[in-house]
Structure 1
Amino acid sequence: MPPATLDEFTRGVRDIAPLAFGVTIYGLAFGLLAAQAGMGAPSTGAMGLFVFAGSSQIVATERLVAGAGTFGAIAAGLALNLRILLMTASLRTEFAGRPFWQVLLGVHLTTDENWALMHATRAKGNAAGYWYLMGGGACLMAVWIAATMAGADFAGALPDPVSIGMDFAFTAAFIAILRNLCRGAEDARPWLVSVGAAGGLALLAPIDPSWALACGGIAGAVTAGVARHE
């Protein structure tokens, strides 16, 4: 790996490290849930390696535990993961001209955290490109797999994260990310539309909350796209 590429990759790892704490707690919580669904540490780790979509993995596993069946679990996970299509579509410049394997790797390692951190870093005037994104994604994947396997392996010995208030760690990480991305009042409309659509559908429509989240994300993205062309 060329020195410049390695430096960018390393900066991605370094900058994402504080957010990895929230992912650790989130991963332990998922490991406990996976154990309830009858999954052991190896299968939990394999799921994280090949799927690597934390919120979607949790929703799908919750559906299994609730008795929704395999199809219902997969549908719920895919619905929540629709937002990744919009996120990776915004990375056309980063993927342009790269070998197909790098594009596939980039799509696989793109998460809410490293995608948002890349844009937040750029908003501060610092360079952040493909390998910065990959560094953050590789770090998060390693932490996620280790935490989920530990949670599944030691399910009986770990406390419920909700009982000690640590379930909020992931939410707090996202609040910090959004705060860094916010450019002021011009960003308020798509965020409000997204929150309103997701909340309204979750409360009023007879659909799974994961579909409401996906619809809210799409509504916010469309609103931002329309505003950009006005």
Structure 2
Amino acid sequence: MAMIPALPGVALFGTAFGALAAERGLSVLEAVLMSGLVFAGVSQIASMELWSPQVTPALVLTIAFTTLVINLRMLLMGASMRPWLADAPPLQVYPGLYILTDTNWVSTLRYRREGGADAGFLFGGGLIVWFTFVPSTAIGQIFGTLLANPRPYGVDMILPLYFVALLAPMFESARRSVPWAIAGLVAIAVQSVLPGFWYLIAGTLAGAVAGGLLGDE
């Protein structure tokens, strides 16, 4: 039930990726395999925007570096759950980390905050997102560019609003909100001056440093 509010946004995001993949010449099978195996929505969008039929070493390195930058946030997301998952069985931990997304990460934080103790929650949430995102990729690829740009429909706001709704009750004091505010402000500032996805890394690192410096109350 915790994942249901996010699923429309996940589905339409997958559809948008499928449409972009079709525009770049990927078949339905190729697009679905990419979503199923890579399962990194923003990175997939970025790689498709950079993609060219003329594959060169420079192109491969550019795509690899871009996806690395975008996904570096996963290191901090995984680290944030180590105090809880460190003693859990590997079969419960690693499958969940393989399908870790922003969506099931924030939902898992909320679940843990409310007293949940089942380490399988992360994997279960990720599996729900996977079974929504991957079929949506096929739909987007088949129907072409219908939702290649989801912004006119307000789709791009669904997941951010979902995150806000989950995270807001976790802010028990102004002090705990400071790292989030710093992360957001830094991300906005970097996005206004640097192209690409550097704002994701800058905001994440700024928030992490701020949280470390503030320490516990």
Shorter-chain TM-score: which interval?
Answer: 0.7 to 0.9
CA displacement at 1:141 relative to structure 2? 0.6
CA displacement at 1:100 relative to structure 2? 4.4
Per-residue CA deviations over 1:94-146 (Å, capped at 9, x if unaligned) read: 433455454431211221111111221233x3414311111101000110101
CA displacement at 1:199 relative to structure 2? 2.2
CA displacement at 1:53 relative to structure 2? 1.3
Give the conservation status (yes or no) of the 8 Å contact 1:114–1:133. yes
Cα 1:145–1:214 shift into 2, 3 Å: same
Query: Are 1:91 and 2:81 an aligned pair?
Result: yes
Quick one: distance in 2 between partners of 1:38 and 1:181?
44
Quick one: distance in 1 between partners of 2:102 and 2:13?
14
Secondary structure of 2:6's counterpart equals helix
Secondary structure of 1:209's counterpart equals coil
Query: Are 1:40 and 2:27 an aligned pair?
Result: yes
Per-residue CA deviations over 1:180-209 (Å, capped at 9, x if unaligned) read: 4333412332122212222222223xx433
Aligned to 2:105: 115
Quick one: distance in 1 between partners of 2:93 and 2:112?
21
Query: Are 1:152 and 2:141 an aligned pair?
Result: yes
Give the conservation status (yes or no) of the 8 Å contact 1:16–1:114. yes
Per-residue CA deviations over 1:140-191 (Å, capped at 9, x if unaligned) read: 0110101112111221566753333333323332332332433341233212
Alignment gaps of 5+ in structure 1: 1-13
Cα 1:181–1:81 shift into 2, 3 Å: farther
Aligned to 1:127: 116
Give the conservation status (yes or no) of the 8 Å contact 1:22–1:173. no
Percent identity over paired residues: 32
Quick one: distance in 2 between partners of 1:173 and 1:223?
24
Give the conservation status (yes or no) of the 8 Å contact 1:80–1:211. yes
Amino acid of the residue matched to residue 183 of structure 1? Answer: E
Quick one: distance in 1 between partners of 2:214 and 2:149?
43
Higher helix share: 1
Amino acid of the residue matched to residue 132 of structure 1? Answer: F
- Single out whichever of 80-89 and 53-62 deviates more from structure 2: 53-62
Give the conservation status (yes or no) of the 8 Å contact 1:193–1:219. yes
Secondary structure of 1:155's counterpart equals coil
Quick one: distance in 2 between partners of 1:209 and 1:160?
17
Give the conservation status (yes or no) of the 8 Å contact 1:76–1:208. no
CA displacement at 1:217 relative to structure 2? 0.7
CA displacement at 1:56 relative to structure 2? 1.7
- Single out whichever of 186-195 and 83-92 deviates more from structure 2: 186-195
Aligned to 2:186: 197
CA displacement at 1:55 relative to structure 2? 1.6
Cα 1:200–1:54 shift into 2, 3 Å: same
Cα 1:163–1:201 shift into 2, 3 Å: closer
Aligned residues: 213
TM-score (norm 2): 0.85
Cα 1:184–1:34 shift into 2, 3 Å: farther
- Single out whichever of 210-219 and 101-110 deviates more from structure 2: 101-110
Query: Are 1:17 and 2:28 an aligned pair?
Result: no
Alpha-carbon RMSD: 2.5
